[in-house]
Every structure is written in C-alpha cells, then in structure tokens.
Amino acid sequence: MKNRCVFFYAVVTALAALGGCDTGGGEDLFLLDLPPLPPSWTELLGAPRWLVKYYDGGGGEVFLDLEGGEVEISLPASRPSPVFAWPYWPLRQLKPGDFRPAGAILPYDAPPTGEGRVALSWQGGVEAWFFDALNRAALDRAAPDVDADGSTASGDSAGDLRRGGQFDWMAFRALFSDPSVSGEFRSDPWLADWDAIAEKTVRSGFRKQWLAVAETLPLAVPAGPWVSPSPFAPPETGTVRVRNGTTVQAWYSAAGILHCAGAGWILLPWG
C-alpha cells in the first residue's frame, strides 16, 4: 500500500534475555540513569526533583521520589513495562506532570550486555506515554479483568494484540528519523495527540501518517523567552503555538507562568 506503514503485532516471548539482572524471583533489576535537562529548563528553574513511575508484578503503579542521579528498580521478567521520570520543582510549585517525562520501555531499552543499566531518555518518555495510551485505549474495549499495564491477572498478555506490550517498538522508533514523517512531528513529538493515535491504533492498526502535529494556532504573548513543557521545544519569544481547543497549556518564564487556551492567555506570577 502506497505511502502506508502498517505495523504487525506479535506476542513477545523470551524478553528476559534482552537485558536486566535476574533476581531469581521472576524479576529483573535495572539501574536507571536520569537524563540531563534541557539548558533552558535549568537556567530558569534550577535542579529538579524527580518522580519515577513503573508497574509492579501485579500491574500496580509504583512511585519513587528522588533528587536525581540514578535509581534501582525491579520489574517482572518477560513482561514489557513503561518507566516514566517526571522532573518537577516543588519550590516553584511545579508538580509532576507539569513538564513532560523522560522514560524507557523495559526490557527493550536494556543494553544487550545484560548489565541492566538503562539511560532514560526524552524520546523514551514519548514512547512510554504511547505505551500507556495504547493500554488505556485497549482497556475501553477489553474485559474488566485486564490490568492497567495491559496484562491479565495471571500476568499474560490479554486479548487484543494492539497493546503496548505487543507493539513493534523497534519499527516505531525508526519513524522518529524517517524523512517521510512530518518534520514538525520529528522536531517535537509531544505536539502529536497521542491519545487519539492510540485509539485509532487499537481500533484498526497503526499507520505512520498519524504521526503529525495536532492543529495549533500562533498566539502573541509578552516578551519572553518562554519555556515549553516539552524538552524538544526551543524557548519562544513574542509568539507561542497553542493547540486549538479549550485545553489549558502552560509556558514558563522569569516573569511567571503563562496559561493559554484557544486565543486567550493569562500570566500568573510565581507563587
């Protein structure tokens, strides 16, 4: 099919061989290295705290709060899992989720040496988000005994193969440098509507044409520079691009936090 990329899905087996250190209890240990922040974030806000999130053996969410550096986690062997790391600045009253996360998908991102040390990345945060978005979309179409991480209570993959754990992540990652994909998307993948892409993927399979930015409009704002919550976006001065609609979006500067929705904005000083 012309100009079309359809991903096929297959149940993943023998994942433990891809990396990690087997604890002997059906789990692998991973040492996560947190990524450096974009210079514009640190210049404006300084060093952050981090909130790390992953899924335990029962599909429940585990949260770790730390200042930085590295963190060791234990994940069920042979079950792929997204890992998130949100930077946040409590002294600035900026919460986890105000800025986009770094992340990884394990054990895919574990080095082939088996040492289990993983560098979280900003692109990995996009992939982890899409992993969860696929599972959320699949949950809407699945039986009630499916866990939030996309597995059944028994720990096996469930029903619809268009879940995060069965997605072709290697082929997906190649699209971030594919010249046939929207240049705007490749420069800042957080401009895409990942929940909408996940819903369409679960419904009918993935197509690379969906990797495009959501509709935006330029909005004139006070002099900046303004820092975006996306680690891929450069600081803006004079104009920011706002996703069309009523969803409130935020930019940050020395003057305060700029909240935008549609064609309107309000500037709130730092609390």
Cα–Cα distance, 36 to 43 (Å, whole number): 13
What is the residue-averaged pLDDT of the chain? 81
Mean pLDDT in residue range 97-104: 96
pLDDT (0 to 100) of residue 77: 73
121 is written with which tokens? 């990345």
- Weakest-pLDDT range from 53-57, 76-80, 147-151: 147-151
In the sheet where 49-55 sits, what is the strand order? 61-66, 49-55, 81-88, 102-106
pLDDT tier at 51, thresholds 50, 70, 90: very high
Strongest mean pLDDT among 95-99, 216-220, 266-270: 95-99
* Per-domain boundaries in the chain: 15-210, 216-268
> What letter would DSSP give residue 104?
E
pLDDT (0 to 100) of residue 162: 54
Cα–Cα distance, 265 to 54 (Å, whole number): 35
- Residue-wise pLDDT for 172-184, tens only, equals 999 999 999 999 9
pLDDT (0 to 100) of residue 21: 55
In DSSP notation, 137-202 reads HHHTTS-TTB-TTSBBTTSSB-S-S-SGGGS-HHHHHHGGG-TTS-HHHHH-GGGS-HHHHHHHHH
- Residue-wise pLDDT for 22-38, tens only, equals 555 578 889 999 999 99
